[in-house]
Amino acid sequence: MKKVLVIKQVLHEGPGIIGMELLRLGIDMVTVEVYNGEVIPETLDGYAALIVLGGPMGVYEEEVFPFITEELRLIRHALKESVPVLGVCLGSQLLARAAGAKVYRGTVTEIGFYSVAVTEDGRIDPLTRGLTGDLSVFQWHGDTFDLPEAAALLASSKTYPQQMFRVGRAGYGIQFHLEVTVEMVIDWVERGREEIGAAGLDAEAILSVAAGRLPGIHKNGVVVIRRFLGLLS
């Protein structure tokens, strides 16, 4: 059975529909809960891919969260060995940093439902081809990053140009969330009401449209996730 290593940064940010697709395909998901002090392995021997999930910490907070240093090391190992990597939200920022790009605070906090545009490179990439026009996505981030050198930009927005990219053969970073379920959105909003209010956003407005928006997001999310899992050797 193929195994995928999943790094989970905080209790409430799980794999969502990524986990559902792994189960459907019969791929074993081995989760490292870094917030519980679980140790990140030295290598990816025995694993077909690495998936790095989101969290509220910043890539630049290595002194506060020492596990970030270990995650960067493992991602660099994956890129060197051409092991497929999928980074979601914080995971995408970690991938960008591991590939040599700068990660920093953005000018706006994005929380809720937004649109991103598929780029010209995105129209031909194995993960995003056929997903033309604007995609509805769920966002929760205040940090952003520069595009790594030689990376392909696959999706973009006016506020934050770096929304999805590929580095190397199979290193994919997704700033937004395609994996969230309705239950996850409700939980995140309830936990983050203070942050939402501080950003000048309306928690109730986000919740009111979640059930209607997520089916379309999942439709595209399943396409991207299945295509990524198709890269596993």
**Rounded Cα–Cα distance for residues 95 and 87 (Å):** 6
**Rounded Cα–Cα distance for residues 174 and 172 (Å):** 7
Q: Is 108 helix (H, G, I), strand (E, B) or coil?
A: strand
Strands (E), the chain: 3-8, 28-33, 49-52, 85-88, 103-118, 134-145, 152-156, 164-167, 171-174
Catalytic residue ranges? 89, 177, 179
Q: Which residue has the tokens 């140009």?
A: 161
Q: Which residue has the tokens 């509805």?
A: 136
Q: Give the Cβ contact number of residue 2 at 10 Å.
A: 15
With contact defined as beta carbons under 8 Å apart, do 54 and 140 qualify? yes
Strand partners, 10: none
Contacts of 165 (CB under 8 A, 6+ apart): 92, 96, 147, 148, 151, 152, 153, 154, 172, 173
